[in-house]
Amino acid sequence: MIVTNIETIPGKRIVEHFGMVSGNTIRAKHIGRDIMASLKNIVGGELKGYTNLLQESRRQATSRMIKQAEELGANAVVNVRFSTSSIAQGAAELYVYGTAVRVETGGAAT
Amino acid sequence: MIDLTVFVVLVVLGYVAGSLFEKRHFRSLEKREAAQLSQPIVTLEDVSYPEDQIESARLVSGSAVISVDYFKRLLASLRNIFGGKVKSYESLLDRARREALLRMKESAPDAMAIVNVRIETASIGRRANKKGVGCVEAMAYGTALTFRK
């Protein structure tokens, strides 16, 4: 599965479009991380726990999107965008969307 | 009285530790940025490289969650009364974005260029009873291109 956030895949020709695919996940932080974060809020700096949490969640959203694309018979997702929204206190939604396409593998550039 | 003592301790601790961490972070950012200078990142979608030279394209991303210290939060809330430039949050967002960009670059050491870079900022961990920025997340993503040798 090739994933890019440009409209094409360089060196490969898109032969079929399948429309939009997306994946989302909503994560809440757990209490241990929250306590650490509130301590870190006093001195400032990076909150590693949150960084990891968000990266992990984004990976999950991306894999859901890829799974959806695979079910459609696509072998690539182009023009991928990420978006984050905080819907409730202490929880964030991570959303990723793109266009599922099928590319000619090993095809010469047109 | 105890409340006041706690408050003063928090402000002093925030100021001393916060500015120390920030200076250290900026130094490390500058050093790493200098090391990564040879790898171009552009916000253009198409950089007109000859297509037959491009071996692969893949999505890369990097993110960082940075929090502001107690002293700066106090400064910013004072700033809210008079209005104007909030310097303490400027440096916070600057740090988060630069760190995210650097992490994105570091995750693709083999890439010749990263195209169509987008940066997204989200404010997370905001508490209901306290308004203002708790911490911000900056995320950078783009398409890493590798070339045939």
Task: Tell me which amino acid residue B53 is.
Answer: Q
Nearest-angstrom CA–CA distance, A75 and A84? 26
The alpha carbon of residue A81 is apart from the nearest alpha carbon of chain B, in Å, by 9
**Tens digits of residue pLDDT in B10-27:** 888 888 888 888 899 999
Q: What is the pLDDT, as a whole number, of residue B19?
A: 87
pLDDT computed for residue B128 by the predictor: 43
Is A47 an 8 Å CB contact of chain B? yes
Q: Does domain B2-147 have CATH number 3.30.110.70?
A: yes
* Cβ pair B65:A54 closer than 8 A: yes
* CATH fit for domain A2-103, picks 3.30.110.70, 1.20.140.10, 1.10.10.10, 3.30.420.310: 3.30.110.70
Nearest chain A residue (CA) to B137 = A51
Name, in order, each residue with C-beta under 8 angstroms of A104's C-beta and a sequence gap of 6 or more: A12, A13, A14, A15
**Residue A107 contacts B, CB cutoff 8 Å:** no
Distances in whole angstroms, Cα of residue B48 to Cα of each of A15, A51, B145: 21, 34, 12
The rounded distance, in Å, linking the Cα atoms of A7 and A78 is 6
What tens digit of pLDDT does each residue of B79-133 get? Answer: 888 888 888 888 889 999 999 999 999 998 888 889 999 999 887 755 544 555 5
| Domain segments of chain B as ranges | 2-147
Query: In the prediction, which pLDDT does B134 show?
Result: 67
Q: Domain coordinates of chain A in residue numbers?
A: 2-103
Choose the closest CB to B142 out of A2, A5, A48. A5
Residue B139, chain A, CB below 8 Å: the answer is yes
CA distance B83 to B79: 5
Q: State the distance between the two ends of chain B, measured CA to CA, in whole angstroms.
A: 70
φ/ψ of residue B22, rounded to 5: -65, -45
